[in-house]
A and B are shown apart, each in its own frame.
Chain A
């Protein structure tokens, strides 16, 4: 008896290695599927990707506030200290005439995390409301947020380098402050959110809409 063949909907794709496998006929609600080639977890359908991504994004948005309001580091010169937030640090650079550097810090630390949050929220809303417009462009937006997100870490690294190098006792000393920790958390959380967001849903909703329209129209 020949195999009647299976439709594309019955095929599960491993997101890690691309191996194809057949969807099991019976699935209990809490079953997990694993790829046989690479051992990675296979996502089935919508999963809880949207909910987890929302949770991570909300946590990141909350931490974004102290990351910008709390000081990231304090510079002690000859005993007297001065705490600096990201914005005041950039402002000092402008005052010192180093405006290209100030612009870099401003973009990497303030604009990029904010844009990343907004872009992911926009993509999530699009998925939830089944938006079918411009899937290619939205995919590009996703790829871009995934790529530029890590560059925000540059501020954390600068603080690390400064506190490692400038340790001259009473003469000059730099200390890290809580703002750095909040800021690093924002970057990590948004990176995780970009990872948990299931980008195939952009195409799935677009595709489903087009098919439904064909059926009804």
Chain B
């Protein structure tokens, strides 16, 4: 029985040596600095945190707090002390009740299984038609690609780009990123790329709209059902499964665990 643990202490005043922010540069200079340099700075930060010279001369109490990390609530920003959980437990925010982090058994295995299933279904969905429409001996077929290009043919180019992002690019990016992140954590590869990918898919998550498109397909089926002869293509079924698998793949990884394990990889590398 997974129990919610509301055991995180509030931290109004904390005495933890925190790292400084990344270089403070004006925007244009930041852009000129490549991602490589950024990870060098990050390296300095990790070294600083583990540097015994920093801890020398500090009181025992201080080091005691250091071993506990701090966790900030994603929703409201309140700080909490990190406490390890047992499998199936969830830590929630004291102020707003949002989930801070959870401990999940077999998280990596589930992520791997779901992303590989998702990629297979994605390929199937794009290879076959979703719907077919037959009228007067002519037949039109709808695939995801055809749906995106339909606006292009009528000279709404921006809408095509928007739909390609919603239906083709974002889902693929999400699946590939999750696969890469899972492998990075498992094999402890240098995590620079995985960190960037995870950041982007978390920001861009709302722009993947497969389930909204599914609703659109259903609406279109009902609208056209009376007028013409509709054929449900094989991709319709793989598409339905893809939506379920992607929803599961998005809910399995616990962000706090993923971030901290990716960071642990950097310390090992």
Contacts and interface: CB of A to CB of B under 8 A. Distances in A.
Interface of A: 1-8, 11-13, 15-24, 27-28, 30-40, 42, 93, 96, 98, 101, 104-105, 135-136, 139, 146, 149-151, 153-158, 160-168, 171-172, 175-176, 180-181, 184, 188, 191, 195, 199-200, 202-204
Contacts of B256: 18
B59 interface: yes
B263 A37 contact: yes
Given A2-B58, A101-B223, A200-B77, A154 B215 contact: yes
A34 B38 contact: yes
Given A37-B263, A38-B259, A139-B96, A160 B215 contact: no
A157 B142 contact: no
B13 A8 contact: yes
B30 A176 contact: no
Contact of B18 (A6, A17, A161, A172): A6
Given A5-B15, A22-B18, A27-B24, A163 B151 contact: yes
A7 B13 contact: yes
B135 interface: yes
Given A11-B14, A154-B215, A162-B224, 8 more contacts: A11-B72, A16-B199, A36-B45, A37-B42, A156-B162, A160-B150, A167-B140, A200-B75
Contact of A17 (B23, B147, B166, B255): B255
B70 A165 contact: no
Given A139-B76, A181-B158, A11 B18 contact: yes
Q: Which of B95, B140, B156 has most chain A Cβ within 10 Å?
A: B156
A30 B21 contact: no
30 contacts: A2-B57, A2-B62, A5-B16, A6-B15, A6-B18, A8-B12, A8-B13, A11-B72, A17-B195, A18-B74, A21-B19, A23-B21, A30-B26, A31-B24, A32-B24, A33-B21, A35-B22, A36-B42, A39-B22, A101-B219, A105-B219, A150-B207, A151-B215, A153-B212, A154-B216, A156-B163, A171-B135, A172-B227, A176-B154, A180-B159
Contacts of B209: 150, 153, 157
A38 B220 contact: no
B11 interface: yes
Given A21-B18, A24-B20, A164 B146 contact: yes
Given A17-B199, A32-B26, A184-B162, A22 B206 contact: no
Nearest to A14: B72
B163 A168 contact: no
A151 B212 contact: yes
Contacts of A199: 75-76
Interface residues of B, number: 85
B21 A22 contact: yes
A158 B216 contact: yes
Nearest to A152: B212
Q: Is the interface of A mostly helix, strand, loop or mixed?
A: mixed
Q: Which of A4, A38, A155 has most chain B Cβ within 10 Å?
A: A38
B142 A161 contact: yes
Contact of A163 (B154, B199, B207): B154
B41 interface: yes
B224 A166 contact: yes
A176 B103 CA distance: 49
B131 A8 contact: no
Nearest to B71: A18
Interface in B70-114: 70-72, 74-79, 95-97
A162 B156 contact: no
A42 B77 CA distance: 13
Contacts of B227: 172
A36 B41 contact: yes
B79 to A, nearest CB: 6
B186 interface: no
B217 interface: yes
B96 A163 contact: no
Given A2-B62, A101-B223, A40 B72 contact: no
Nearest to A171: B136
